[in-house]
Amino acid sequence: MSPSAKRRPFIAGNWKLFKTAAETVQYIRALKKLMKKGPEVDVALAPPFTALESAVKAASGSTIAIAAQNVFWEEEGAFTGEIAPGMLKALSVGLAIVGHSERRQYFGETDQTVNRRIKAALAAGLDAIVCIGETLEEREGKKTKRVLSSQISKGLAGLTREDGLRLTIAYEPVWAIGTGKTATPDMAQDAHQYIRRQLEKIFDKKVANSVRIQYGGSVKPDNAAELMAQPDIDGALVGGASLKPDVFFKIINFKGA
Ligand code: 13P
């Protein structure tokens, strides 16, 4: 694929357990001002659940999309601590992150629960960013591709082509998250190309060519451009470097427009 035919970049900030509603509003006001220059990328922010409503209001009139960091598979019931897809829709949130490695690592998330969450999100009209990626042990044991293929086939089991078109995949090698160790552009490209091939196997070429695959793991203003220049890297899922609007804007503006 020629670089000009590349998918529109999609850069999302995952705030994890940071920021109150008031801090969220302040941040979004600042980012909106910076974004007046209008870089040609899609942008999303995923604040904690408690700040979603304020975030949606603060982002109105801008192109910033607001995402949830997780979503449950039931609409209601005795499920203490969970948030239903319909509750997010009611706040005009249109997107949810599913299967982040921190959910898998600390909260018992599995490919099966990831699959249920994706299906429920899509059925309720939310789009999903699905996170996958290998641990250091798996990479050193040369199991990266096996792990990615299993996470994709189990996590996306039973989805239709139409479902596939509403997904973004975030490749986040666990060893690169919050560690300052970024995958080299070649390493990341190799994984992204492999992921795209798996998408072609379970959906088809059209879906594989349109799904955006974000890279995540210590993305910073000084490494964003070289990562984004890779043919199969279509964006970034940014943790730490998304917490300050000026730093995140430098990543959004990686082309230096
Ligand atoms: P860092 O950018 O802080 O490494 O986090 C990446 C991440 O987990 C985004 O979801």
> 3-class DSSP state for residue 55?
helix
Query: Does any ligand 1 atom lie closer than 6 A to the CB of residue 238?
Result: yes
Best mutation site among 129, 171, 237 for ligand 1 pocket (most ligand atoms within 8 Å of CB): 237
Identify the pLDDT of residue 40: 84
DSSP annotation of 4 reads: G
Q: pTM for this one?
A: 0.96
C-alpha dist (Å) from residue 172 to 101, 219, 232: 8, 10, 14
pLDDT in tens, 91-117: 999 999 999 999 999 999 999 999 999
Ligand 1 mean position to 249 CA, how many Å?
16
Query: Does any ligand 1 atom lie closer than 6 A to the CB of residue 71?
Result: no
Q: How far apart are CA 83 and CA 110, in angstroms?
A: 18
At 253, which helix (H) or strand (E)?
A: none
Query: Does any ligand 1 atom lie closer than 6 A to the CB of residue 177?
Result: yes
**Architecture of domain 10-32+42-252 in this structure:** Alpha-Beta Barrel (3.20)
Identify the pLDDT of residue 58: 98
Let me know if 94 is exposed, middle or buried by CB neighbors in 10 A (0-12, 13-18, 19+). middle
pLDDT in tens, 49-102: 999 999 999 999 999 999 999 999 999 999 999 999 999 999 999 999 999 999
To the nearest whole number, what is the mean pLDDT of the chain? 95
Share of the chain above pLDDT 90, in %: 92
Q: How far apart are CA 190 and CA 213, in angstroms?
A: 12
